[in-house]
Homo-oligomer: A and B are copies of this chain.
Amino acid sequence: MEAKHAVEKSIELIHNSKIAYLGSIDNKDYPNIKAMLNLKNEGLRKIWFSTNTSSKRVSLIKNNSKACIYYADTENFMGLMLTGTIEVCQDEESRQKVWFDGAERYYSEGINDPDYSVLCFTAERGNFYHKQSNVDFDIKL
């Protein structure tokens, strides 16, 4: 499989995924994983999630920004892992970017709820696999 084809299939996989798995590193240097709602991306380079400001994830990320995001279509033995860095964003533009109708269920005070934060991920490398085929590629601006 060529890298170009892997990138196309990767974008398709992201668009078909309801859930993304976020990998981070905790304060004892263990990897951590959490399922996140797949909300918003710009190609493979930028991915955004919403989360609670008070959550464990937010404090971990502030301590160690290295992260990965994994998308899987396990029925078809297909997966994408993006590695890069993640940061906590609380600016207006980021808040608007991932806000959706019904998000009041999670953040009762609406888009300005102080417990609403956005996680902004920037990918550096990708790995896409489908069955036995496996491709690594760089992700550039």
Contact = CB atoms under 8 A, between A and B. Distances in A.
B21 A81 contact: no
A87 interface: no
Nearest to A52: B132
A21 B70 contact: yes
Give the number of copies in the complex.
2
Given A32-B68, A32-B81, 6 more contacts: A18-B74, A31-B33, A33-B70, A34-B70, A34-B79, A35-B79
A72 interface: yes
A83 interface: yes
Interface residues of A, number: 23
Interface of A is mostly: strand
Contacts of A83: 26, 30-32
Given A25-B25, A70-B21, A31 B31 contact: yes
Contact of A31 (B19, B66, B72): B66
